[in-house]
Amino acid sequence: MRILFRVCRIFALLALPFAVSSCRGKVGVIGSGIPTTAANSEMEELTRFYGDTRALYNSRKFAELEALADELRSNKAKFPNGEWKISHFYETLACADDEPDSMWKLHETIYQDWEAKFPKSITAQVSHARFMTEYAWQARGAAYADKVTEEGWRLFRERLATAHTLLDQSKPLAPCPVWWEVRLKVALGQSEEAAAYEALFQEAKKSEPQYFKYDLSRAYYLLPRWHGEPGDWEAAAEKDIERADGLGYETYARVVNAQSGFYDNVFRQSKASWRKAKKGFDQMRERYPDSKELLNKYCRMASFAGDREVARKLFAEIGADPVASAWRRKDDEFRRAKTWAMSDP
**DSSP states along 90-140:** HHHTPPPTTS-HHHHHHHHHHHHHHHHH-TT-HHHHHHHHHHHHHHHHHHH
The domain tally of the chain equals 1
Contact 88, 28 (CB under 8 A): yes
Least confident among 34-38, 216-220, 223-227: 34-38
Does residue 322 or residue 35 have the better pLDDT?
322
- φ, ψ for residue 29, nearest 5 deg: -130, 165
CATH number at residue 55: 1.25.40
pTM of the model: 0.87
Asked, for residue 5, whether it belongs to a domain, the answer is yes
pLDDT of amino acid 7:
30
In a domain, residue 252? The reply is no
To 5 degrees, how large is the angle CA 15–CA 86–CA 156?
Answer: 70
DSSP bridge partners of 310: none
Query: Do the domain assignments include residue 73?
Result: yes
**Does residue 22 register a pLDDT over 60?**
no
Q: For residue 4, what pLDDT is reported?
A: 31
| Distance, CA of 252 to CA of 247 (rounded, Å) | 9
The pLDDT confidence band at residue 345, using thresholds 50, 70 and 90, is confident
| Rounded to 5°, angle at Cα 110 from 109 and 111 | 90
In the prediction, which pLDDT does 214 show?
A: 98
Residue 272, C-beta contacts closer than 8 angstroms, at least 6 positions apart: 234, 237, 256, 259, 266
In a domain, 330, yes or no: no
Residue-averaged pLDDT of the chain:
88
| Residue 320: inside a domain | no
Query: Is the residue at 7 inside a domain?
Result: yes
Residue 154 lies in a domain: yes
| Structure-model confidence comparison of residues 339 and 146, the more confident one | 339
Q: Which domain holds residue 98?
A: 1-191
Look at residue 240 and tell me if it is in a domain: no
Per residue in 132-162, pLDDT (tens digit) is 999 999 988 877 788 888 998 999 999 999 9
